[in-house]
Each structure stands twice: as C-alpha cells, then as structure tokens.
A = this chain, B = another copy of it.
C-alpha cells in the first residue's frame, strides 16, 4: 500500500485513520449519499449528491453541483466526503461523548464525463449503487437524457477514511459516577414502500430495495 500523501493524511486523532483501499471502498460503497466540497469565487461549498465507485474512480452526480460546474473547464478541485453514522457514544462526562462513525474523504480534481459510453456506464453504476438490480428493470436513459445529465469523475488516488467504533472512553476517576454509559447504535433503515399513485395494478414491489431493510445482516 502506498504511503498516504501529506494532504490526505488524517491529522486529528490519527489512530482512527484508515488508508487501506478495501476499507475506504467499503465505506464509499455503503454510503447512499456524499457531500462534495468545492471552491467557487474563493468561497467554500459543501453540497449533497449521489455518488458511486467504479473500481478506482468515484463518480459524482452533478445535478446539484451546477454552481461548481459553471467554472469547470479542465477539472476542478473537489473533496468528496461520505459519512456513515453508526452510533451515539454516551460517556459519564460530557467531554467524552462521541459518535461511532465511518467516513471517507476523497481529494482530487474532478473531470466532467463527456464520453457517451463512460457516461452511460457511470449512470448505471450510480443507479446500481443506490438500488442494486434496478437498472435491469427501469428504462435506460435516452440520448437526450444522457446529454442532460452531468457526471463528474474523481480518481481514488488520494483517499482516506476515519473510523470510530466501540464503547465510550471515560476518565478513570469518572467510572464510579452513577451515570449510564454505553453506545446507542444507529442505522438507516427502510420502511414500507409507497407505490406511486398512478402505478398500474399487478406490479408488486421488487425485492431489490432491501439494502436498508431492518432485517439485513
């Protein structure tokens, strides 16, 4: 594994840092949305959007990034961050309260995907990222729809992750306090699907939106 570049190295609480690509990939692949950080007119923005990884490339759906894209020509610096919240960490002291989480940060220059074949593939990857199996059923994009879609690509060369797991870490002298301490796990789960009003009768809910089901392992 290559050494992390200075820019991507985690500075704060480095014991929580993760640089293994497999671990970073797993976080990127699980997160349903990302936040894209970029600079416009010298000022920072962080905008939520959808992403998907395809090997060593992270694709980012550009619909919400139009503010950025107006200034994009040969690539624009971005920071794509995903964060999975796994739990509330309740310590005896307020100071040691924390959260369990897994986050990944990808730094790089985003290029706009112009090649129609790559764009089509990127869109497939994005839809499959959110709802595995869906592209086999939903109507594929037309040429016109493809043209209306903006996809950015960022290399995963500069990526890192930060992970906190486990119980609260209290100071020795606080352990006897009569305060409950522990972790309240959190998870994004799906509810009962709501069919569109205009859905023809006889179409049952597909089995694939199970990614966030309460029963998943």
Contacts and interface: CB of A to CB of B under 8 A. Distances in A.
A38 B44 contact: yes
Indicate the member of A43, A170, A203, A209 with the most B CB atoms within 10 Å: A43
Nearest to A146: B95
Interface size class of A (residues with CB under 8 A): 35 or more
A42 interface: yes
Contacts of A80: 46
Contacts of A130: 88, 97, 99
Given A12-B67, A145-B93, A199 B182 contact: yes
Contacts of A186: 32, 188-191, 212
A1 interface: no
B167 A196 contact: yes
Nearest to A180: B203
Given A37-B44, A66-B11, A135 B94 contact: yes
A43 B77 contact: yes
Interface in A43-90: 43-48, 50, 63-64, 66-67, 77-81, 83, 85, 88, 90
Contacts of A7: 43
A26 interface: no
Interface string A196-217: 1111100111100100101000
A153 interface: no
A109 to B, nearest CB: 10
A200 B185 contact: no
Interface string A106-123: 010000000000000001
A35 interface: yes
Contacts of A185: 190-194
Given A64-B162, A184-B193, 13 more contacts: A12-B66, A12-B67, A33-B99, A39-B43, A48-B83, A90-B138, A92-B139, A93-B139, A94-B138, A97-B130, A180-B204, A182-B194, A182-B195
